[in-house]
Amino acid sequence: MDLIDTHQHLILRDHLGYAWTDTLPALQGDFTPADYARLSHGKGVIGTVFMETGVDDADYQAEARLIAGLVGKGGMLGQIASCRPELDAGFDDWLAECKILSVAGFRRLLHVVPDEMSQPEGFRRNIRKIGAAGYTYDMVFHARQLGLAEALARACPDQPLVLDHCGNPDVAGQGFDAWYRGMQAMAALPHVWLKFSGITVNCAPGTASVALLQPYADAMLALFGPERMIWGGDWPVVNLGVGLPDWIDMSRALLAGLSADEQALIGHQNARKVYRLPA
């Protein structure tokens, strides 16, 4: 199964601030394209899409400008840039600038801000602008917030949306049932895609395994189907779970029951379609 990694983070501390990593020993230091290339060598990764890395607020535009210089190198096909839809001031200008920054989509982290942020009409109006400009929007919520994700998606019916990290089920807390109910509602919305990524971080330390996660993978496949799922590595955050090489191996095992054509949809074909990536 060839893979386009639609969730490749980088941590480049000489240029940008990452305060959220301060209390996470596994994420100290830099995480560079060369590091990623070493870890993914021989693993079937045929391209990547950079995903904004939650840099400090003052740096989110600087991050996108920096990454634009890396697109086209080392297999990077584009980037998903950060944005601030809660602020009207400068939003349109940022969308316009991103046309020259190899941007394939946008994301605003919503699982680490007040739940109310995504609810005002002004926020949703700006999300709709993203779709009107031809971009996808990635959503990241905790499983307990899937009602918020559904409300946002229903308010933006023409905006292509990607729900990151399998909807962040509370695997460690045995939260399958509540997560499943929320995912049923999300899967009922045809403009929502699901990113098959990030789930091992939600397991209790040292417990992530194919056996533990197979029921979650099977549920996602039943709800969204291979036609609406996209693979992502979530490196280096995946280091809080099993690490990138092991997540690649685990992904293949979790999806082993699919046909080669179905695996290709999740592995790389849907990514090209959703993010409008170059061939």
Residues 31-81 have pLDDT tens digits of: 999 999 999 999 999 999 999 999 999 999 999 999 999 999 999 999 999
- pLDDT at position 161 is 98
pLDDT in tens, 234-267: 999 999 999 999 999 999 999 999 999 999 999 9
* DSSP structure string for 183-205: HHHHHTSTTEEEEE--GGGGSPT
Rounded to whole angstroms, the Cα distance separating 23 from 127 reads: 31
- pLDDT at position 87 is 97
Task: Return the DSSP state at 23.
Answer: T
Q: Choose the CATH number for 3-275 among 3.30.365.10, 3.40.190.10, 3.20.20.140, 2.60.120.260.
A: 3.20.20.140
Give percent of the chain with pLDDT exceeding 70. Answer: 100
Query: Token digits for 250?
Result: 């685990």
Contact 80, 105 (CB under 8 A): yes
